[in-house]
Amino acid sequence: MKISDLSEIGEALSGDQLAVPERCSSEAHGDASEIITTGPRWYTVYTMPNHEKRVGEHFSHRNIEYFLPLYRVQRHWKNGLHVDLDLPLFPGYIFVRFASQHDRIRILGVPGVLWMVCGTGKKPTPLPDTEMNRLRAELHLRHAEPHPLSLTGQRVRIRCGALSGMEGILERWKNGVRVILTLELVRQSIAVEVNSHDLELL
């Protein structure tokens, strides 16, 4: 599952609209068959609105590994002040890495956590380690921001530079281009700025 190829489901989202993810059955307890035995993997947690950073703080205090990608935006107040804010790139979501049912229960007990995002099997769905590691290491090297869910258009692959290997939808933007990367599990897209020479058509 590539972050590029993700998503045949969902409908286009407007600016602040969020898609509600699939909730796992029997979240708090689960049975023995749900215990993870293949080592730590990355999963997605759905949070209360505007609680992503606070949830991240709780994870830090509990030594739970997490990833909360942010982007910077400038807000203009009525009094003329300009304020730079760091906002979640995937509003309502935070990514966690864990290995056991015990860890899962600890995560679900954190204030602000609503549930763990699941796939069609109604169990927590792991994200690809390769893509998650690349996002954690390289996403900050490209300007990224949320984008309405995008599933159609000219597909391209980033062939060099940060996020190389990832695929998405080409978008003409101002005097350059961006690539729209879609994460199926949370039904959200992000746009990353790229140089056209760094792309190859698919």
CATH code of the domain containing 136: 3.30.70.940
* The most confident of 36-50, 117-131, 152-166, by mean pLDDT: 152-166
Contact criterion met (CB below 8 Å) for 155 and 168 = yes
3-state secondary structure of 183: strand
Residue type, 106: R
Question: CA-CA distances (angstroms) from residue 27 to 44, 58, 63, 80, 150?
Answer: 13, 19, 21, 46, 30
Task: Answer yes or no: is 174 within a domain.
Answer: yes
pLDDT at 186 over 90: no
Task: Answer yes or no: is 24 within a domain.
Answer: no
Task: Answer yes or no: is 187 within a domain.
Answer: yes
pLDDT at 21 over 80: no
Task: Answer yes or no: is 128 within a domain.
Answer: yes
pLDDT band at 118 (very low <50, low <70, confident <90, very high): confident
Question: What per-residue confidence (pLDDT) applies to 37?
Answer: 53
Question: What per-residue confidence (pLDDT) applies to 28?
Answer: 52
Beta strand residue intervals within 89-137, DSSP E: 93-98, 113-116
Query: What is the mean pLDDT of the segment spanning 142-169?
Result: 94
Task: Answer yes or no: is 9 within a domain.
Answer: no
pLDDT at 7 over 70: no
Distance CA 20, CA 18 (A): 6
Question: What per-residue confidence (pLDDT) applies to 14?
Answer: 33
Task: Answer yes or no: is 69 within a domain.
Answer: yes
Task: Answer yes or no: is 23 within a domain.
Answer: no
Q: Which residue has the higher pLDDT, 12 or 92?
A: 92
pLDDT band at 29 (very low <50, low <70, confident <90, very high): very low
Question: What per-residue confidence (pLDDT) applies to 17?
Answer: 44
Q: Which two tokens stand for residue 119?
A: 């796939």
| Structural domains in the chain (count) | 1
Q: Which residue has the higher pLDDT, 199 or 38?
A: 199
Count other C-beta atoms under 10 Å from residue 66's C-beta. Answer: 21
Domain assignment of residue 113, given as a range: 32-201
pLDDT band at 82 (very low <50, low <70, confident <90, very high): confident
Task: Answer yes or no: is 171 within a domain.
Answer: yes
pLDDT at 97 over 50: yes
pLDDT band at 77 (very low <50, low <70, confident <90, very high): confident
Q: What angle do CA 140, 95, 194 make, to 5 degrees?
A: 25
Contact criterion met (CB below 8 Å) for 154 and 199 = no
